[in-house]
Structure 1
Amino acid sequence: MERRVIIFLVLSLIIVAGYDYLLKQLGIVPSATEEAARQVDSSEKPSSTMEGQPAGPPATGSGAETKATGSEARTGDISPGGHESSAEQIVTIETDLLKVELTNKGGVIKTWQLKRYSTETQTGPQPVQLVYRGGQFPGPLSLRVSDEAATREMQQALYRVEETGLRLDPGHPTGRVTFTYRNPKSGLAIQKTLGFRHDSYLVDVEVKTEGVQGPVNVGMGTNFGIIEWGEGFIGLIGPASMVDDKIEKETPEQEAERSGTVQWAALQDKYFLSVIIPSQGTAVQVKKESERVVSSQVKVAPPAGQPVKLQLYAGPKEYDTLRSFQIGLEDTIDFGWFIYGSWSLVKMVAKPLFSVLRTINEVTHNYGVTIILLTVCIKLLFAPLQYKSYKSMKDMQVIQPKVLALQEKYKDDRERLNKELIKLYRDHKVNPVGGCLPMVLQMPVFVALFNILYMTIDLRQAPFFLWIKDLSVPDPFYVLPVIMGATMVLQQKMTPTTLDPTQAKVMLILPVMLTFLFLTFPAGLVLYWVTNNTLTIVQQFVTDRFIFKRPGPDKTAAAEAATQA
């Protein structure tokens, strides 16, 4: 049985280690650098324009930056306070957190940069860009109704722009942009108002419509909020939504719709997300455009004559920020990954552990040091359990020759063998599962900490020391994974085992396999593993040296042996 377990573990590690690598080599899953470079290159390309079109007059909003790009589209009426638009205009909103560009073509978001977060590209670090620029898809906050002609008109029209206070700071904490479009011939009229805050990723959105029937679908755009598609060993990337108080995270094969009371709908990756929070949402529609391209929209049916009101959040998965909305958005952070059916248990452990991690960091201001201190605390907490586990393994090692003798003697009588083994364990007061039970009790804590270090944005761009500048990415020189492999070998040599010599040698393959696996893991996670292994080695050394002293030679047994000789 033990041989089968070893083969299973080795094959599992090969699959886990090779799967992500194989996908990247085949080009099915891009690396984070390739994905970021693609988005940066796409965003640097000029938008589709037609030469020779007259440029509209510049906007004159307070502190705003507006530019024309000469795009041909339908022109709306002039309303008081608006600007006539015969060309596409880009309005820039800048705060301490964001730099956003809005286009009056469709009144949608053109770019959304997070100023406090960066991603590595071929040209160096660039601000995180949440708007997908890889295809001709409707942008975030695009509108759709049941009438396809009206939908095309909404999405292609050049809206008039009215803006105020768009360079926001503590002295000018709020700002507003209004897009207006009216077509007297069709009777279609649209007004979008976006309200920004200087210290928030949250935007208030209000949409008024005339001349349309039925509900209005507000689009989240395509891959808006997803910058690292396919990256990560755990965690779900793509659409997520809460409908009728139930969270669902899945990417459909083609299209999917969830009807009911919509609390929110999101597109997410490991560290970032965009989410629409409607006041009166009735359904969420998700569409898979291609292998790594998804779009989502929220259907809203307000009372007759009432505007569509919603909020848009596009930013990092900061736990406190998401939790402050009190609508379950913090559950988009995957604290509960483990095995099927255990998510609630791991999540219940992970959230308090995450709170402790951040509390320690408020003192150390270095997440590398914080990880080491937290690992020490956990090790001390579980020291009694680990002592019992180690003692049980030692006891089993002592009686192992007698176990082998019984197995040989009663190899053809399984029932008698079991009775004799039970008697042997009872006589020597040994519990054969005593070495495993403490480890099982510790497992939820270790898995919860694994999830925290792998999934939370707190470690992103967090330096440790010397060459480790970011604990959320792999060690660039592979120093920590190599140290981890060495400590695993040493730990195996020191741990009592009941395996025969051949099986023990086979088990030495595991540290090698895990070392190669951990080459791709975040440095913060590997640092935890190295610290845990080192503390285990120290604990085993102290236990062997000062607690389980090796017994001296049995003089009575030696005398009997001499007499018989």
Structure 2
Amino acid sequence: MSLDWIYYAISWILLRWHDLWDTIGIPDGPVLGTNWSWILSIVFLVVTLRVILFPVFVKQIKSQRAMQALQPKVKLLQEKHKGDRETLQKEMMELYKVEKANPLMGCLPMFLQIPVFLGLFHVLRRLSPTNSQQTLYGWTVEQFDSATHASLFTAPLASKFGSSATELQLLGANGVTVKIIAGILVLTMMATTYLTSRQMILKTGWAEDPQQKMIQRLMLYGIPLSLLVSGSLFPIGVVIYWVTNNLFSLGQQQWVLRKFPPPPMANAKAGSTPARSNGSNGTKPGAKGPQSPVRSGRTGGLFGRKAAAEPEPKSPVVDTKALAPKPGAKPVNPKKGARPANKPQG
């Protein structure tokens, strides 16, 4: 299957933004060794695609809420079919089918962005002075030549951390500068990828379903670590796209999670029973004392700040002198309350 339609679509969006910045008057030439018109074109390519995919992101959040609501039923199935993995998976698939929940919906936005990433990777990789097909995918010769020499702090957008000496010579780039700029961007890409996944897990909690939990761990640890190797093969322009996309995701997720907060049960510890409100004091029905409304563990913002627990009520001070028997008082039998003890005979 040909992916030319993706290459044409990515090129069209990229070039339209570049034309806009050129019309506004942002210089196409380098300022501080950076061609800002092309950098902004890549940044707003991300904005365009994320606006288009926003309905899909909302569906992802709704799907995650549905999966969280099913966690009690999933836990019951796990206890019922403990040791029988095949039956457990069959019952869980049936549960998802009946409740119309899709455990893979949480990864859908990421899967939809893979073709975009591959398209941009292919388009930027073509930027070379020796490329004879300069007008492919709707480019003009002037646009192709401008993009080929575009750079970020003198590091060409088409260069990468692992560029060979021949590639660097063709692009007229300094190898040390390229490695420094590309290395910083790759590390930033890894960090923001980790923080994007961590932000969602902090807000929604770890899944009870082993399959879902495995996907969460893969997204939290596996993908950022894999970028340490694969990131050296990405052109600097692609890494800029990835970092911008992650930053956009962090802001978008924060907004959506504030507007549509997850249910309280998603952040409760496994095996704990959430307190039910009984009026304005937030106590359990029949409870002997007030229950703390603060959840245990880490909550709150992106970096998991600890929740500030309310101060525990102080125990009343007991005056031991007031409770001590007065001199000359008759001893009291504790078993008979306040009745005086029998006088000894004789």
TM bucket by the smaller chain?
0.5 to 0.7
2:179 aligned residue: 476
Output the aligned Cα RMSD.
3.4
SS of alignment partner, residue 70 of structure 2: helix
Q: Which residue, out of 263, 284, 291, partners 1:559?
A: 284
SS of alignment partner, residue 77 of structure 2: helix
SS of alignment partner, residue 519 of structure 1: helix
Flag the 1:369–1:504 CA change in 2: closer, same or farther, 3 A: same
Q: Which residue, out of 191, 209, 214, partners 1:486?
A: 191
**Amino acid of the residue matched to residue 488 of structure 1?**
T
Equivalent residues of 1:386, 1:439 under 8 A apart: no
2:321 aligned residue: none
Q: Structure 1 CA distance, aligned partners of 2:62 and 2:188?
A: 27
**1:160-559 alignment runs, 5 A limit:** 342=1, 344=2, 346-364=3-21, 365=28, 366-400=37-71, 402-411=73-82, 417-418=88-89, 420-422=91-93, 424-425=95-96, 428-457=99-128, 458=144, 459-464=147-152, 467-474=153-160, 475-477=178-180, 478-496=183-201, 498=207, 500=213, 504=217, 507-548=220-261, 550-551=263-264, 555=276, 559=284
1:349-369 CA-partner distances (Å, limit 9, x unpaired)? 211321221222123242111
Q: How many residues align?
A: 218
1:172-194 CA-partner distances (Å, limit 9, x unpaired)? xxxxxxxxxxxxxxxxxxxxxxx
Deviation, structure 1 residue 424 = 3.6
What percentage of residue pairs aligned between the two structures are identical? 32
Q: Structure 2 CA distance, aligned partners of 1:415 and 1:392?
A: 24
**Amino acid of the residue matched to residue 255 of structure 2?**
V
**Amino acid of the residue matched to residue 157 of structure 2?**
L
> Where in structure 2 are there 5+ consecutive unaligned residues?
22-27, 29-36, 129-143, 161-177, 266-273, 289-346
Q: Structure 1 CA distance, aligned partners of 2:86 and 2:184?
A: 52
1:361-395 CA-partner distances (Å, limit 9, x unpaired)? 12324211110011111111111112212332343
1:254-293 CA-partner distances (Å, limit 9, x unpaired)? xxxxxxxxxxxxxxxxxxxxxxxxxxxxxxxxxxxxxxxx
1:498-532 CA-partner distances (Å, limit 9, x unpaired)? 35599738952431330343134221110001011
| Structure ranking higher in strand proportion | 1
Flag the 1:505–1:349 CA change in 2: closer, same or farther, 3 A: closer
Q: Structure 2 CA distance, aligned partners of 1:505 and 1:437?
A: 15
SS of alignment partner, residue 431 of structure 1: coil
Q: Structure 1 CA distance, aligned partners of 2:73 and 2:109?
A: 25
**Amino acid of the residue matched to residue 156 of structure 2?**
D
1:133 aligned residue: none
Flag the 1:521–1:561 CA change in 2: closer, same or farther, 3 A: farther
Flag the 1:515–1:388 CA change in 2: closer, same or farther, 3 A: same
Equivalent residues of 1:518, 1:526 under 8 A apart: yes
**Amino acid of the residue matched to residue 159 of structure 2?**
V
Deviation, structure 1 residue 450 = 2.6
Flag the 1:351–1:461 CA change in 2: closer, same or farther, 3 A: same
Deviation, structure 1 residue 410 = 1.4
Equivalent residues of 1:480, 1:527 under 8 A apart: yes
**1:85-234 alignment runs, 5 A limit:** none
Flag the 1:526–1:431 CA change in 2: closer, same or farther, 3 A: same
Deviation, structure 1 residue 536 = 0.9
SS of alignment partner, residue 487 of structure 1: helix
Deviation, structure 1 residue 441 = 4.0
Name the TM-score, length of structure 2 as normaliser.
Answer: 0.53
